[in-house]
C-alpha cells in the first residue's frame, strides 16, 4: 500500500496542545477531555464496555483553519474512537481498552498497538495498529492531500468509510475535500464529516485501491491533470479489472458521476488512472511532457489492474 503524510488546537482534538495546556493539564484532566461530554463508557471489570456518544459536530469553516502540520496525539484508555472492523470490512465506533507493544522478530522493531472493544460488544483477537484507528473528534487543522481519513460521519451511522484526501478545499471545489475510497471511487466531503486516522499509512483491504495514481497525484498536486468530459457523453472506466462503458450523468468540479451499462452508478476523479481516455488517447502524451515520470507508472498500473480479454 501507499504511504502517506500526516487537527486540532487542544488536547481534546487531533491538534497540537498550546503551551498553557501542556503546563497546567494533568494526565487525568487530559484523559477526561478526550471523551465527549455526552459520550459514556460503562465498564464492568475489564470485559464489558458500552460505547455511545455524539460524534457529529457543527459545520467547520475551512477558510479559517490552520495549515500547519497535523499533530497526532497519543490515544488514551477508554477513549471513544472509530476502528477498523477486520471481520466485516468497515469501520465502526469502539473504545480503547489498553495499549500493547509488539516486536518484529526479524527487525526487532517495536510497534504500538491498541486493544479495542467495538460498540456491539465484539473484541478483535489481535490488537489494532494506529493505521486502523481514527480519532472521533473533528480535526481543527487543514487536512493535507495524502492523509488517510474516515468519512460518512453521523450519529445514526454504524458503518464508516475509509479513504484518502486527494483534493483540499478551494473556491474552485466549493471549499470541500475530495476523498478517494479503497475501491478507487471519489466524492466531495465537508470538513466536519471527516476524521483523521491516528496512523499515517493506509490500511485498505480492497485490491481495487490504486497507489500509483495517489503517488503521482501527490507528486504534482495542485497541478494535476483532469480529462474534460460533459454530461451525456460516453465514458469508459476500469471497474473490477475490466473496462466498462457508460454515460456521464453529472460533473461536480473534478469528480464525474457515471451510469454504467450494468446499471451501477459510481463517481471517479476525472484524472483517475481508471479513466480510459487518460491512458489511451493523446492526452497521455501531454502528461509525459509535464516533467513528471508519470506515464510509465500509469501504464504499468493499468497492466497490473486490467484484465486483457
Q: Are residues 181 and 232 in the same domain?
A: no
**Number of independent structural domains in the chain:** 2
Residue where a domain terminates, one of 196, 230, 258: 196
Q: Are residues 192 and 217 in the same domain?
A: no
* pLDDT number for residue 89: 82
Report the CATH number at residue 271: 2.30.30.140
Residue 2 lies in a domain: no
* pLDDT number for residue 3: 44
* pLDDT number for residue 194: 94
Confidence of residue 44 (pLDDT cuts 50, 70, 90): very low
Q: Are residues 183 and 242 in the same domain?
A: no
Residue 9 lies in a domain: no
Q: Are residues 171 and 36 in the same domain?
A: yes
In which domain, by residue range, is 239 found? 211-305
CA gap 7, 22 in Å, rounded = 16
User: Does the pLDDT value for residue 168 go beyond 80?
Assistant: yes
* pLDDT number for residue 261: 92
Mean model confidence pLDDT for the chain = 76
Q: Are residues 215 and 191 in the same domain?
A: no
Q: Are residues 224 and 191 in the same domain?
A: no
* pLDDT number for residue 301: 54
Confidence of residue 219 (pLDDT cuts 50, 70, 90): confident
- Supply the pTM of this predicted model: 0.73
Q: Give me the mean pLDDT over the 184-210 stretch.
A: 84
Q: Give me the mean pLDDT over the 205-228 stretch.
A: 78
Residue 14 lies in a domain: no
Q: Are residues 79 and 127 in the same domain?
A: yes
Instruction: Return the minimum-mean-pLDDT range out of 17-31, 153-167, 253-267.
Output: 17-31
User: pLDDT of 109-121, one tens digit each?
Assistant: 888 899 999 988 8
Residue 201 lies in a domain: no
User: pLDDT of 255-294, one tens digit each?
Assistant: 999 999 999 999 999 988 888 887 777 665 555 554 444 5
Amino acid at each position: 500500500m501507499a504511504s502517506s503524510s500526516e487537527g486540532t488546537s487542544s488536547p481534546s482534538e487531533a491538534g497540537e496542545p498550546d503551551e498553557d495546556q501542556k503546563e497546567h493539564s494533568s494526565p487525568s484532566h487530559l484523559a477526561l477531555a478526550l471523551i465527549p461530554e455526552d459520550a459514556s463508557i460503562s465498564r464492568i471489570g475489564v470485559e464489558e464496555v458500552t460505547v455511545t456518544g455524539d460524534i457529529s459536530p457543527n459545520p467547520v469553516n475551512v477558510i479559517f483553519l490552520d495549515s500547519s502540520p497535523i499533530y497526532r496525539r497519543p490515544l488514551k484508555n477508554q477513549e471513544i474512537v472509530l476502528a477498523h472492523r477486520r471481520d466485516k470490512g468497515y469501520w465502526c465506533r469502539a473504545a480503547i481498552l489498553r495499549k500493547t507493544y509488539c516486536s518484529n522478530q526479524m527487525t526487532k522493531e517495536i510497534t504500538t498497538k491498541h486493544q479495542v472493544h467495538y460498540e456491539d460488544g465484539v473484541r478483535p483477537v489481535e490488537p489494532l495498529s494506529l493505521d486502523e484507528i481514527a480519532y472521533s473528534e473533528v480535526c481543527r487543522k487543514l487536512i493535507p492531500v495524502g492523509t488517510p481519513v474516515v468519512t460518512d460521519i453521523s450519529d445514526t451511522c454504524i458503518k464508516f468509510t475509509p479513504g484518502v484526501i486527494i483534493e483540499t478545499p478551494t473556491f474552485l471545489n466549493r471549499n470541500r475535500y475530495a476523498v478517494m475510497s479503497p475501491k478507487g471511487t471519489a466524492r466531495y466531503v465537508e470538513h466536519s464529516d471527516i476524521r483523521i486516522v491516528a496512523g499515517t499509512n493506509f490500511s485498505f483491504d480492497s485490491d481495487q485501491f490504486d497507489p500509483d495514481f495517489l503517488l503521482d497525484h501527490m507528486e504534482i498536486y495542485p497541478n494535476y491533470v483532469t480529462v474534460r468530459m460533459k454530461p451525456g457523453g460516453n465514458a469508459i472506466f476500469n471497474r473490477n479489472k475490466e473496462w466498462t462503458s457508460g454515460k456521464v450523468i453529472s460533473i461536480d468540479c473534478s469528480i464525474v458521476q457515471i451510469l454504467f451499462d450494468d446499471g451501477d452508478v459510481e463517481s471517479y476523479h476525472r484524472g483517475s488512472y481508471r479513466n480510459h481516455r487518460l491512458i489511451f488517447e493523446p492526452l497521455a502524451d501531454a502528461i509525459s511532457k509535464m516533467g513528471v515520470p508519470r506515464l510509465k507508472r500509469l501504464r504499468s498500473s493499468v497492466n497490473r489492474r486490467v484484465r486483457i480479454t
